[in-house]
Structure 1
Amino acid sequence: MWVSLALFLLGVLTALVAPRLLARADWVEREPVVALWAWQCTVATVLLSFALSMTFSASTAWQAVRGQVFAPAPRAVVDAYELTTTGPWSAVLAVLLAAGGLWSGAMLGREVGRARARRRQRRNELLVRAPLLPGEQPRSERLVVLEGERADVWWMAGPTPRLVITTAALQRLKGRQLDAVLAHEQGHARARHDWLLHCSTALAAGFPGIPVFTAFREEMHRLVELAADDVASRRFGRLTVALALVELNEDRGVFGPGHTPEADLPQRVNRLLTATPRLTAGRRLRLTAAASLVPVVPVLVAFAPVLRTLG
């Protein structure tokens, strides 16, 4: 029972401490890709800790589960986990964690379903705004230009992904600014940022009272944009990307007083203009390795009795 409690407490501790450490880190905006990985490792550690805690709690509470999980294990290993010391909280903890896991899966399924519905709706709207001519085959091109007075560019994911741009955006963007915007959207597509947003949204919607999942969703939405900005700026320069963002959004009141849904755009532009240097390759490697080791901790806790017995 002590292993399941230790894993449960490890998950809670990680959920409380890790987001605060990442919020205080001075390298997050300089290295958004590393920060994205660190957040994924943090959430993976929390979920893995709870999943392992559920497994050991269920093994302690029910002989049928214990027989399945520890069927190939030697008797000494089973004794090391002290599974026969059944406590009143084993079954309760196992049921609660199992319900949380099922709820997480349901929320992810719902989010994926909603995303597909949104993509179908946008494809239908695309056909309305740019209908096929008589005898024309369904579009397979990756770039679609729409007539529109609002400057806008977006990537439409799916089996036949397309990059959609309005004529107003073509008129506003000058020179290499258009190429920079296209590189930004392609950066989202290559990194599959849509799946990060789906997972973070599902967890935050399923557990609205858990701060780590709320912060995970907010940081994913912010960091994927910074990462895509960096992809474009490495090819076309920070100034070009910053000017393109201003041209696309200056008529939406983003850069004036008051709160808007795109309130992070001024911060993105300032970040591009200040041109803070990246971390060294060695430090990026160390941060990535440190984040990758965090999910290993619950595995070591889970196998601690085995290692102690066999050692």
Structure 2
Amino acid sequence: MKRRALLEGEMSFKRASAAALLAALASAPAAAIDVDAGDYTALPAGTNLALVYYQHAERDKLYSKGSKVPLNAGLDSDVGILRGVHFMDIGGYIVDPQFLLPFGKLKAKDGTSFLGDTGGTGDLLLAATVWLVNRKETNTYFGITPFLSLPTGQYDRSKALNLGENRTKFTLQAGYITSLTKSLSLDLVGDFTVYGRNREFGAAGATLEQKTSYQAQAHLRYHVNPAFDLRAGVSKAITGETSVNGVDQGDRGSTTKFNVGASYFVRPTTQVLATYGRDASVREGFKENNRLNLRLLQVF
């Protein structure tokens, strides 16, 4: 009887861990630091940017270790970001201290509707790019950006879905822009992310840890004229395996996605951007079948 009770307890813990990890996967919309083509362009010192982002994403498949889970899964997200950027000169280098504040809502549906829904603000992100190469005349730029994600977002361990992660994250990213021809430019971006512990993970208040994640992005832009461009991008992310209370979960992820879109300066200081994308392959977690990104940028 004692052994049976122990086995039942172990199975109960594993089920709880699985449910909690599924919830963590569902919260992945804010996990990666994606960039838009042109983000690593250095602007003159004293320039300020105000940006508003909106993303609507729909997910209709769930994967585990590269295989589709036999479940009619569903998760929709509507996420916005407020971003402020200031360009300044420090010792001859352009630096842009900035903040990003996400907000929005997540809603599970169909066979994963038991995850429920949530809304509110996400974790505050602080960053600053330092440009080591800044050659406007040849459209050549190279910058390095440290990002610090602070656990300020709304988090409730009793909820399956949360916009906040209840942990600190640090990302180091590098971006490079160059012109291939007079009308064609290439953006290359790579980063890695290390994670702090979430000591209030899931209903049981377990400790969640995660190994380092990596991401690489590439974007091509065709400049129709100085104000208007067409763009396409691809991204590959490798997400680190997690452990719950020291037990490895075997959930190292891999996601490949793409997007196409355009940007246009409706005025010399106002740009609108729209991209459409979806996941091409997913090893672990929900797969996006539709993703629409909109951005409004104001220079002042």
Give the TM-score taking structure 1 as reference length. Answer: 0.22
Larger radius of gyration: 1
Relative to total residues, which structure has the larger strand share, 1 or 2?
2
Give the TM-score taking structure 2 as reference length. Answer: 0.23
